[in-house]
Amino acid sequence: MSGTVWFVGAGPGDPELITVKGRSLIERAGAILFAGSLVNEAVTRWAPPGCAIADSKDMTLEHMAAWLIEQAQQHDTVIRLQTGDPALYGALIEVVQPLDAAGIAVRVVPGVSSAMASAAAAVESFTLPEVTQSVIFTRIEGRTPMPEGEDLAALASHHCTLCIFLSITLLHKVEAGLRAAGWAEDAPMLVVHKASWPGEELIVRGTLADIKQRCREAKISSQAMIIASPTLGARQWPTLAKSKLYDASFTHRFRKASAPVHSPETP
């Protein structure tokens, strides 16, 4: 009989942003493999004495799978700690396949994405009524090519919120894609380096015209989330369309309307 390998989202950096379930699993783990180049090692501090802890930053995919299989043959609970959420830009399926072939049980625990942590750090909202109700998670083509139809210019043509992962060294391509999609030079941009990491988080605000220079001045060259959105800066807007859910004239199953519906003709 073998144990279960849990793929646990470690969150964006702050050890306290791991889920309660993720921490509970760490507390009873027999072995933990964490992505040391991206995951804060402090997340492993809840591991019990005797827990085998290894860093995967110098491992190949085959090495990681072999390590997890070996540990699962010795322990009931084995954890693969991944940055953010395992479903986003992690080699989840690539590692799961050899575990499936070996007959090892696999479970996944979601985590807080760096996209969410970046919006939280800057006190921004990805969606606003009558501005945009859509969010796209994407990246710029590097060594990993983009599928047909998913180049940034095509996605940016929707003019909704874009969370651009793994692309800070390709910021010139981000700018080119947004310009090709018709974004204005004064379109607001947000870059957050190491969102939520204690003492290391850095927030840079700018526009399409100057964000690359601002990031260069801040010496940001890794672990950064790029956000382009028509909602950025809404905290300072003098007027804002309000959500209908909390409108006094809106009835839903938990509350009846307490004010008349306002129409354009109503003074």
pLDDT digits (tens, 9 = 90+) for 34-73: 988 888 888 999 999 999 999 999 999 999 999 999 999 9
Helix ranges (H only) for the chain are: 20-27, 61-72, 92-101, 114-122, 152-156, 171-180, 211-217
**Which region among 119-123, 208-212, 250-254 has the lowest average model confidence (pLDDT)?**
250-254
**pTM confidence score:** 0.89
Which secondary-structure segment (H or E) carries 124? none
The letter for the amino acid at 141 is E
pLDDT, residue 66, reads 97
- What integer is the mean pLDDT of 89-117? 97
- What integer is the mean pLDDT of 204-226? 97
The burial of 242, by beta-carbon neighbours within 10 Å (0-12 exposed, 13-18 middle, 19 or more buried), is given as exposed
pLDDT, residue 35, reads 87
pLDDT, residue 194, reads 96
Compute the Cα dihedral for 145, 148, 151, 156 and give only its sign.
Answer: negative
Scored b (16 or more CB within 10 A) or e, 198-215 reads eeebbebbbebeebbeeb
Work out the mean pLDDT of the chain and round it to a whole number: 93
pLDDT, residue 267, reads 45
pLDDT, residue 263, reads 53
Which pLDDT band holds residue 144 (cuts at 50, 70, 90)?
Answer: confident
CB 88: neighbour CB atoms within 10 A? Answer: 18
